[in-house]
Structure 1
């Protein structure tokens, strides 16, 4: 079935839970009565549902060691299913009966009978959020799990699939009805961002044009295209695949059945289709698609401003293994919740703890540069608190570095005294801004040194050469010997959007610093503080940190190897599927760089694959410190994470970057189109009225207009035949709203 499984405690002959806890709220774990025989078997899955897996070898090992264990299935993205949990004891069956009378019957789908007399209705997880429709009905999705056949219940009953709706006997999993869905979240889409639940008309046209160059009668190509389209989670995706499939001489109508076997968050992405098409000779040319005038709200006056919705996929807010526990700790203890920053903090912790001690067979080390972007008073400060508290609790405070660097010498000195450390910088935007300022040579050189350090993890860092004429022989000899082998500098920077984006120029991209950053911008604004849990670091996190550093208990835990000594790291291998996924992602990144070339943004994708490989190393060791291996699930998660936030960064840079020639082209085109008013400007009229546009190559023109369309600043609109109804239809560029920056 492809579902992620986990072992649960079981009911002993006397009716007690196998964990030994009384389940009355008074035991050491304070478990409640309703969790008897239903909570994760801690000795096998120390991180609960987050350890659920589809790995048959691991599942076999679990249930061989404890054959009586009840069986849990993780819900949500992990297994591709959401579950409606109906409890008749709390009136759930009555609630459902009323809802079906007033809102419509539930579709035919898989149904499980719970041991307590309830029902589990399974629906396909498509990334949207289901809501509890009333009393006695719960929804289980990402982060949850259900108990399944043949598990036993404390009441003496057993869990079983409903005979006529058994998924193991062919019953398909249906889509949830619309009345179960929470209100949809708006999604920003653009020229280089896939639908995330939506494909606009231009994107559909691009896909159809690309697919004309691919052969649907080749089975592997057919499957791969289907999986890539499925990744968009868009309602139009299946029709695109089926229509393309019908062109094959061996089409047999099996597309619908095969589509249902594709899982959410699968291995391929829709961008892969464009890579394959270009390899097959597609030039990227597509007819521009006009939208109906009725679909467009013309620009008249600046509207009220609203923050962008944060369309972060739910699976990117979780981490496997012990670092998932760090995410939970952050979220419980944050006075101002920032779920995305919780993941960044956990990855940064893993980055520094693995520093100089672990690498992959492909020479990927763990040091990374993370940046959290949010408004002031939004909750950017908690990552420092969590990371430093954990390192101090694990007796690894020597890994805590300073709060910034003033010069090249400062970077070298910090690493010489702490060859592996994390620098947590409160206002990274100021550092970048000062580095760009005229005359601030030392700040600029410190950024250059950080760029160098990012790429020297498998090499050696030496100080800049200075005159030694005035030095004593002993001083000269000491200076010559100063070297740092395998330097590991992890950085976590915090900044506000205004400070960060005002510091960006074309030089900051071309200089190579920006593409080494993993930037997460939160749309959660300023927040009032809440009463959060006290920050008490669990033993499991402390023990993991100490095990990763290869230290022993006591004051010498994890002490660093001297800078002039070459460390001997533990080596982590990739499985074949992970290698293939990373190779495919490399091809995708190269295609994206080609597409971004005209905008001067291609370098933003230049380090994406390396960032994904370093991230995969971190989460592989998080998952298992004893026998770590980068498996495909680790590679897929890392690729999804880097891809999502790289695209977010590209869109933000497009909108905010100052001093860019591309930005000047955008501004010129937008100003002329706005002057065209409600009548708009045809392609010919725009070239005639805008010298800038007339002087651009066709591919650059497309990049400029695609960029403006992505931000809903203009659109290509079918305005019809006018009031008389005679003549040709007029299709033109029309400004759709005010640019918030200009406003």
Structure 2
């Protein structure tokens, strides 16, 4: 098939108001590394970019926003007989529909009013799948080849989509009535979900219903996802994959909460729904030279390469190496607090190990610490080593301790992090002790923090005080996307060029003199 046909078809659908996104060539699944249906758009520039990069990509047609699709699988013929299915298709004479490579068809219509629709497989009947918000179908002229399933053919229009979603034919009365029956049953089901297990085949519907209720009262995607994970773990039998749970939460969170149900005591900004922009594009996670080379080394050795995580680690190491040695015209220094958020098993330890290996190779192991135990401990460490890199995992646990501080050491830690950051271009007075009334100062302390955490745990650990006292504002927060494809890991080994550059920084002195280490002039 000529690639131009796929691009033209995608642009034509978008021009009518239908959201599209690219699928893996020859397949029905989204492109690896993409967000699938959540990427769907009508933006012609973005569509051209996708199909320029992947000219053979199939077309995913996102449902919802007025578009409802009924996917009639060949299994329906076995269940109801060829005549019944043929009669069903006759209901769609002159209505938009397409044929699938396996002999089924997709029927397109406008969603009925007053019905809460959810994606379902077989709920209408054997071989009848409903596609609505969060679901999608493959659009013609996409071609699918799957030898294992005996599929090799193209999707074809019988009656093409030639009108915008709002002008689609209405749902047939018999189908609308059936959908209302299912909607009523689903609403009744929610009352029983809390008291028993949710069996396979009903898990997606049940979690979507719960998510819909939580969204209606104003909860955002992270809060909904946290609640669904608990329900999934405790009541779904067997539990859905976490990735699917998060997909449900993200899909439902796209809708506006109900204003009449939102808690009136909430501040206005909490009642405003904001679309999650998602992870940073890889193109923004690049600094040519040392940082890129160290990032690539971490990606090479990680069991699950994650560019965001690798970039955050490399940025923190560069910040340490340049500490007390460079500044900009505004006298800003390189004391960064870098926080990388990623889910479990996303390879958070590889960048830390890579940084440790670099520092060990250039004789700077003394500049590395593993945790932030107390404010006094941080002060003592910086008094001995004025440029220090603290690499700590699960920093959310630390923030929780600070949030619920009942020990003075946690309270002093937050104060130390705040004041140490502001003292990077001046001096930090050491605390006085009974046996040391004149403890001196730390000259231009450079504290660099590379912390990692699980996203929902981190956001749950934040408090109003952290958000308003400046601690949050001092953090450079990078959130990674889903865990990438796995690969054979290897022992972290810094490339020679990375070691050469790190050694140069280790030996670099801004100006000559025997006081450079005591009072450097960057």
- TM-score, with structure 2 as normaliser: 0.49
| Greater strand share, structure number | 2
- TM-score, with structure 1 as normaliser: 0.35
